[in-house]
Amino acid sequence: MELEETPTRLRSKPTWLISKTAVQAHRLIAEAMTAVDGRAYHFAILAALDEFGPGSQVRIGQRCGIDQSDMHAMVKELIEQGHVARAPDPGDRRRNLITLTRSGRRRLEKLDSALSSVQSDLLTGLSSTERDHLAALLTRVLG
């Protein structure tokens, strides 16, 4: 799609631009994840475990904005691949804790590298400072 052929009224709307950018980002992310046999949800879950430590499946899903029905399937896949472990919570035997494994840390680095390339491709026209500014503005919008 050529932006200059899009009506000015339409391309002057940030919501339209965000929507089109999101579509492009999703496509690039899907391609990058396919190339490394991964999923964006896997990255989110592994990143949450790396940053916040072990947690319940519910809490990790909340942190990542992943629906619980999807979380169950994603955690199951990550367990089968050896990237996370599930064990009873010593403080509350009614729930399980999900923990990042060594393999999961290595997998997180690989997925992070693939997603960094996506950032670079998608935002190629922006300087590092502009990218930081864009991230700060979008964070405020999502507030």
Distance CA 53, CA 114 (A): 23
Per-residue pLDDT for 14 more than 90? yes
Side chain identity, residue 42: H
Distance CA 57, CA 32 (A): 26
- The alpha carbon of residue 43 and the mean position of all alpha carbons in its chain are separated, in whole angstroms, by 6
CATH, domain range 37-118? 1.10.10.10
Per-residue pLDDT for 1 more than 70? no
Distance CA 143, CA 140 (A): 5
Where do the structural domains in the chain lie, given as residue ranges? Answer: 37-118
Greatest CA span in the chain, whole angstroms? 61
- pLDDT digit string (tens) for 38-96? 999 999 999 999 999 999 999 999 999 999 999 999 999 999 999 999 999 888 888 89
Distance CA 67, CA 61 (A): 6
